[in-house]
Structure 1
Amino acid sequence: MTICVVVLFGVIFCGKGNQIHKQQDLINLLGATYSAILFIGATNASVVQSVVAGERTVFYHERATRMYLELPYAFVQVAIEAIYVAIQTFVYSCLLFFMIGYNFKVEKFLYFYYFIFLCFTYFSMFGMMVVALTPGHQIAAIVMSFLLSFRTLFSGFLIPMPLISIRWRLYYWGSPVACTIYGIFTSQIGDVNLIIQNVFYSLNLNCFTITDN
């Protein structure tokens, strides 16, 4: 599934990494980054829920017989998931990095892999956490859909960071998706805050300008 998704995104946004001279090009590249990390990240968070929910019955049984302890069990869950995510991220990053057309340098590719790996990891851990806090994976899916929409609302793409009110700016800096987008753009292109100010700020302010007839 990961290969199919990354090929699809790569075909749609092929060569966008080198086209950064116009406002629309930057918006397209930002949308490509946002879509690429959110789609697979949300998929990981959803897929892991059924697996964790299925293991819960076994854990309860083994804990009752004092064979499992909570902390080692949680550590093993995270370690096993991290190995899978690392392999998934390597395949995803290799294909997406070159298909989008970022300027290839070893340090840029490693930064790209690092931020994508962290993104997929915290999405997977988020899905596991929601299952652990709810009675079952059905309720966890409902809760996760609400929390996922809320945490991506302030990621800097749906609502550009300069247009976020000062009192809500803390949600932007506390959003993991915003940190991922910021890290990818900063490592590949430049200061993302300056890009957002130059592209989105003027673009959105023009939409709210009132002209006298």
Structure 2
Amino acid sequence: MRILVVEDDPILSHHIKSQLSELGHQVLCAGTAKEGLFFAKDYPNDVAIVDLGLPDKDGISLIKEMRAADLRFPILVLTARSNWQDKVAGLDAGADDYIVKPFQKEEIVARLNALVRRSSGFVKPEMTADSIHVDLLAKSVRVNDNLLELTAFEYDLLEYLMRHSRQVVSKQRLLDVLYEDQEGDPNTIEVMISRIRKKIANAGQENPISTIRGQGYIFEIQAQ
């Protein structure tokens, strides 16, 4: 997953990023509401964690601005406030869930996974498209019950395309997914897509990924 963390406490922000990065997620951190809104608009995010107590603007206002900008990824509110009024305010602003400090790593990971699954239309921690089966927790792919040997980047590409099945995804968006705020070579995407296609075909599944010239790629089978 690509996770945006908007938290002004540098120590807590570092801990969240380290813990989530260790699990294979890509984490982008912002220390202010202004920076958070910029990252939310300009980078592909699967989910955001927003602290209510930010230095330049409160988190409630930031969430409202994100929703006003038609940013639809799920938002998890992070708050030190335990009263129910603040929780309700966050949800009313457009957040999808909240977690109160202090929290355990396992709890925040579970909540993020659940939010992303629900927002993508996948209630269970798995995706299926014809004979392709993806375990979202184990980050593994089976085709006709054969385990595919995918690199971490290949898995991320395939998962992203399946989450956005029947949608054209540009090569630049896929570069952003893989390389976060670093610059990647567009030819790398072509090579990895080619490898994914071959591995799926060798496992007995007809190629599900089509190239739309000048636009990008599309996963043709509706994932469920």
* Structure whose residues are more often strand by fraction: 2
When normalised by structure 2's length, the TM-score is 0.27
Higher relative contact order (CA 8 A, sep 6+): 1
What TM-score, normalized to structure 1? 0.28
Structure (1 or 2) with the greater helix fraction:
1
Q: Which has the larger radius of gyration?
A: 1
